[in-house]
Amino acid sequence: MSVDQNTVRKVASLARIAITDAEAERLTPELNNILGWVEQLGEVDTSSVEPMTAVIPNTLRLREDVVTEGDQRDAVLANAPQGEHGFFTVPKVVE
């Protein structure tokens, strides 16, 4: 499989990264080079192998369904590029 410039542009838009046509042109052979190299994994017979889900056997813990750290509004908003009335603000999304 190899990617063309349109695919690179599509992937960039899925990744929410703006790229110029020049960048798409530069990135296409770079990504192809890397993807071509990882494709050697296809040689490995994995028909009877489960994909790894946990690297060290460990069971997922559950905690009590209670608030552990509440009342942190100011701390949560402290690094927001823009906030108002105790909320994060973003450009208008609903007309």
Partner 1 sequence: MTDVTDLGVAALRDGIRTKAFSAREVADAFIVKVSKAKALNAFIVETPDHAIAAAKAADDAVAAGETLKPLAGVPIGMKDLFCTKGVQTTAASHILEGFVPPYESTVSHHLWEAGAGMLGKLNLDQFAMGSSNETSHFGNVISPWKRGGGDNAPLAPGGSSGGSSTAVSARLCPAATGTDTGGSIRQPAAFTGIAGIKPTYGRCSRWGVVAFASSLDQAGPMAHDVKDCAIMLEAMAGFDPKDATSLNLPVPKWEEGLNPDMRGKKIGIPREYRVDNMPAEIDALWQQGIDWMKDAGAEIVEVSLPHTKYALPAYYIIAPAEASSNLARYDGVRYGLRELPDGANLQEMYAVTRDHGFGDEVKRRILIGTYVLSAGFYDAYYTQAQKVRTLIARDFDRAWLECDYLLTPTAPSAAFALGEKADDPLAMYLNDVFTVPSSLAGLPAMSVPGGLDKNGLPLGLQIIGKPLDEQGVLNAGMAIEQRAGFTARPESWW
Q: Which of 5, 22, 25, 33 binds partner 1 (CB under 8 A)?
A: 33
Report if residue 22 touches partner 1, rule: CB under 8 A: no
Q: Which of 21, 67, 81, 85 binds partner 1 (CB under 8 A)?
A: 81
What does R_g of the chain's alpha carbons equal in angstroms?
22
C-alpha span between 20 and 12 (Å, rounded): 10
C-alpha span between 37 and 35 (Å, rounded): 5
Would you give the binding string for partner 1 spanning residues 40-79, x where CB under 8 A is met?
xxx-x-x--xxxxxxxx-x-xx-x--------x--xx-xx
